[in-house]
A and B are shown apart, each in its own frame.
Chain A
Amino acid sequence: MSDTIILEVARFNPESDAEPSYESFEVPLRPDWMVLDGLNHIKDQLDGSLAFRWSCRMGICGSCGMMVNGVPTLTCETLLMNYAPGPVRVGPLDHFPVVRDLVVDLDDFLAKLQKVRPWVVRKDDFKPAREFIQSPAQLESFHQFSLCINCTLCYAACPVYGLDPNFIGPAAIALAHRYNLDSRDQGIEDRLDIVSRHEGIWDCTVVGECSTVCPKHVDPSLAIQQYKLTATKEWFKSFLLPRGKH
């Protein structure tokens, strides 16, 4: 087997280019190197102008998501070896505007994250002197949805988001669902106003790719479909008990 591999890396400089193109680099192929190590080899040794985001290199900060051979991937935890003998094509995440090279614009995602009110909402003023009592089963009910690292791979995998940028999207809805399910929260109605609009949960046509690419097994698709059930129930409730306070 060859001890090098070709990385075809997307290059785009908004100050001179109209659209991205791919540039090939030959990098060492080592058994313990991740795709990110290959990119860092390029940046350190071959071309210092290559722009990409990375930080923790242990799959928890969510910075280094890219398209690797057309699939949204966390490059810090994906072995280069998996793509041998190559070439491997590395591009910026799909469906986001490209700022430069492998860096995409995440403003839209951050705005959506804020929109779904991802914090504990209390309607009463109850503040226990100690902790809220929460059984392990209650914790378990939302725990999976609290594991999202905001890497936005799910947005890059979602054709609905690609076709309709107004779609709130998998990660943000999963986060709203996480707070809805949390026994300490009382904000379900506030969030429903935003999330149950057309560009919220009802835009989702259950492609399911968001859950396939999620590196933390959050299963945003499950969250969205569960949310649809919740929204339907709430709709019936408001229909049967208009404006009624429980």
Chain B
Amino acid sequence: METSSHDILIIGGGGAGLRAAIEIAELDPKVDVAMVSKVYPMRSHTVSAEGGAAGVAGKDDSVDEHCYDTISGSDWLGDQDAIEFFCNEIPKELLRLEHWGCPWSREPDGRIAVRPFGGMKKMRTWFAADKTGFHLLHTLFQTSLKYATIARYDETFATRLLVEDGAVRGVVAIELRTGKIRAIQAKAVIIATGGCGRVFPFTTNANICTGDGMALAYRAGAPLKDMEMVQYHPTGLPFTGILITEAARAEGGWLLNKDGYRFLQDYDLGKPTPTPVLRSMELGPRDRVSQAIFGEFEKGRAFHGPYGDYVHLDLRHLGEHKIETRLPMVRELCLKYENIDPVREPIPIRPVQHYMMGGVHTDINARTSLNGLLAAGEAACVSINGANRLGSNSLGEILVFGARAGRSAIETVRASGSGNETAILAQARDEERRLEENFLHKTGGAERIAKLRDEMQRAMESGCGIYRERNSLVASANKLRELRERAANLAIDDHTRTFNTQLTAALELGYMLDVAEAIVHSALDREESRGAHQRRDFPKRDDQKYLAHSVAHQAAEGPPRIEYHPVVITRWPPGERVYGR
């Protein structure tokens, strides 16, 4: 077994991981930082973000207003101290990106341009056309190349955190190219592995979003927070689930049912106006808009297609010039994947799983409850997103908390002594044995990976979709239990060391089953409706009992143990969420 060691190890090479790496390299070039990523960093899912990143920019705007929008957007489940810190930091981070070369879209006078976004009372979303995530990721990746001190393990798949004496001391990972199993030791480990959308069948998330880091932390003893909070984006293309950015509505797009009627007015989201009004109608928050579309499905006022019901997103009145300059990718995606031109035809869309508000439980400094383990980005839950994230807050989150995780990790390294290397390496060898026996040398087994994955995804959609209730959640939980047992009997017929993607698919399935279980049980225990978590059997928000974060601990046997931690309320007492009036 090959071993190496670094001061800080970052798992995940997306926006949060790269931002952390750069922060560390800039703050202290003597700190030895390494990054493990199962894909080349510029392939990470940050690349798919489209609309933009919110940060107070205009003179008519204030940090307090951004805070309030985020807090009411979160249905008061976000921690207000974290949100205030976030809203203060984000403009500085976006400016830093500008100095690093991010091609932000501009006003005619050469200043940064901002656009409106759902649930935001002011125009404050910075954007690079509708490829903001792409430009942000490539800018970060290219900037990271400047620092010789950042070591990279590209296409290296993490399988286990090494924990010794209550502290995380490194990771075991498989180098895909060679199949070599490595023990990489570190005094601090940052999890920046993104989300887990692939536990759902219909998702905007890339194939790599399998909750790896969430599961690694969960298994190592760090709990997962608010996992029941699963965001559905209102506008995904049917069949593929490809995201049509919220910016399409921010630029003035309309949502229409089969009668050509702007139905959001029936869902307490305001009155229709020809031009977009902030925090109203199509610029409502994602949870409410997705629920409204679902409502149209139930009322039979939607179109029926081969891939389920859908409604229309109409951009025709924006004209070709605006679509071409502000939303070029939307047009490109529609032409390629739906064979329609949004300049001439409305776009068929349906709500699609998009984002996990929940994640590894961290404090405001990105520290988890395990010593030496930090987390940032979608993999983490600070929480600034509470029960519903506002569009364009996630790109900000990966920057602010990626950098914060980097800072905290340096402090951890400075304070940490050396661990018991013998014990750590013994643990790594255990993991090597597990990988060889259960996967690489495994013969027999009858279950196909794809079949189990498919059944898991269907169980998650039927039990844990936009609307939930006790019976469907219990059925899903039982199904997941059954799938975990069957997963022990997987058929692995690829015993090649070199680039074994069947091995990684099997390991990813294991991660997803763990994360799915945390989602279902957290949803089962929260007997209220709040933000993205809508219970048919408990349709009201219940601040008496549930103004609290759910925190799921993995149990040795049986379902996870769910605890509740109070939400941090500072200046904004819980109130009604008002949109469009």
Chain B residue at smallest Cβ distance from A175: B142
Q: How far is the CA of A134 from the CA of B243 in the complex (A)?
A: 30
A123 within 8 A of B: no
> Which A residues from 104 to 143 make CB contacts under 8 A with B?
105-106, 110, 113-114, 117-120, 127-128, 130-136, 138-139, 142-143
Report yes or no: B106 in contact with A134, Cβ–Cβ below 8 A.
Answer: yes
Q: Which residues of B contact A55 (CB under 8 A)?
A: 39, 43, 45, 206-208
A-side residues, CB < 8 A to B, are 13-15, 32, 43-45, 48-63, 77, 99-101, 103, 105-106, 110, 113-114, 117-120, 127-128, 130-136, 138-139, 142-143, 146-147, 149-150, 175, 179, 182, 184-185
Q: Which residues of B contact A136 (CB under 8 A)?
A: 106-108, 110
Q: Which residues of B contact A53 (CB under 8 A)?
A: 39, 43
The stretch of B97-105, B341-349, B410-418 in contact with A is B97-105
Nearest CB in chain A: distance from B550 CB, A: 30
A56, A100, A114, A127: the one within 8 Å of B496 (CB): A100
Q: Which 3 A-B pairs have the closest CB atoms?
A: A44-B450, A49-B494, A133-B110
Given contacts A49-B502, A60-B47, A134-B106, contact A146 B496 (CB under 8 A): no
Q: Which residues of A contact B106 (CB under 8 A)?
A: 134-136, 139
Nearest CB in chain B: distance from A190 CB, A: 12
Q: How far is the CA of A52 from the CA of B99 in the complex (A)?
A: 37
Report yes or no: B498 in contact with A100, Cβ–Cβ below 8 A.
Answer: yes
Report yes or no: A61 in contact with B497, Cβ–Cβ below 8 A.
Answer: no
Nearest CB in chain A: distance from B343 CB, A: 18
Most buried by B among A50, A56, A143: A56
> Which B residues from 232 to 268 make CB contacts under 8 A with A?
239-240, 242-243
B145 within 8 A of A: yes
B471 within 8 A of A: no
Given contacts A45-B450, A56-B206, A139-B103, contact A63 B43 (CB under 8 A): yes
B448 within 8 A of A: yes
B40, B99, B107, B242: the one within 8 Å of A58 (CB): B242
Chain B residue at smallest Cβ distance from A183: B110
Report yes or no: A48 in contact with B48, Cβ–Cβ below 8 A.
Answer: no
Nearest CB in chain B: distance from A85 CB, A: 20
8 A-B pairs within 8 Å (CB atoms) are namely: A15-B496, A49-B493, A51-B499, A54-B207, A56-B47, A58-B242, A61-B42, A128-B99
Q: Which residues of A contact B498 (CB under 8 A)?
A: 13-15, 99-100
Q: How far is the CA of A149 from the CA of B192 in the complex (A)?
A: 22
Q: Which residues of B contact A32 (CB under 8 A)?
A: 239-240, 337
Q: Which residues of B contact A44 (CB under 8 A)?
A: 448-450
Report yes or no: B95 in contact with A59, Cβ–Cβ below 8 A.
Answer: no
Q: How far is the CA of A118 from the CA of B139 in the complex (A)?
A: 9
Q: Kindly supply a per-residue 1/0 record for chain B positions 83-119, scoring 1 wherever the CB is within 8 Å of any chain A CB and 0 otherwise.
A: 0000000000001001111011111111110000000
A58-B333, A59-B332, A135-B106 given; 10 more Cβ-contact pairs under 8 Å: A14-B498, A48-B492, A49-B496, A49-B502, A61-B39, A77-B337, A119-B100, A131-B112, A133-B109, A150-B138
Q: How far is the CA of A128 from the CA of B497 in the complex (A)?
A: 51
Given contacts A77-B336, A99-B177, A134-B106, contact A51 B500 (CB under 8 A): yes
B160 within 8 A of A: no
Q: Which residues of A contact B134 (CB under 8 A)?
A: 60, 149
Q: Kindly supply a per-residue 1/0 record for chain B positions 374-385, scoring 1 wherever the CB is within 8 Å of any chain A CB and 0 otherwise.
A: 000000000000
Report yes or no: A135 in contact with B45, Cβ–Cβ below 8 A.
Answer: no
Q: Which residues of B contact A56 (CB under 8 A)?
A: 43, 45, 47-48, 206-207
Q: How far is the CA of A77 from the CA of B332 in the complex (A)?
A: 10
A113, A128, A143, A182: the one within 8 Å of B101 (CB): A182
Q: Kindly supply a per-residue 1/0 record for chain B positions 438-465, scoring 1 wherever the CB is within 8 Å of any chain A CB and 0 otherwise.
A: 0000000000111000000000000000
Given contacts A49-B496, A119-B146, A130-B95, contact A61 B110 (CB under 8 A): no
B62 within 8 A of A: no
Given contacts A58-B240, A182-B101, contact A63 B500 (CB under 8 A): no
Q: Which residues of A contact B333 (CB under 8 A)?
A: 58-59
Report yes or no: A127 in contact with B99, Cβ–Cβ below 8 A.
Answer: yes
Chain A residue at smallest Cβ distance from B208: A55
Q: Which residues of B contact A14 (CB under 8 A)?
A: 498
Chain A residue at smallest Cβ distance from B306: A32
Q: Which residues of A contact B107 (CB under 8 A)?
A: 136
Q: Which residues of A contact B99 (CB under 8 A)?
A: 120, 127-128, 131-132, 184
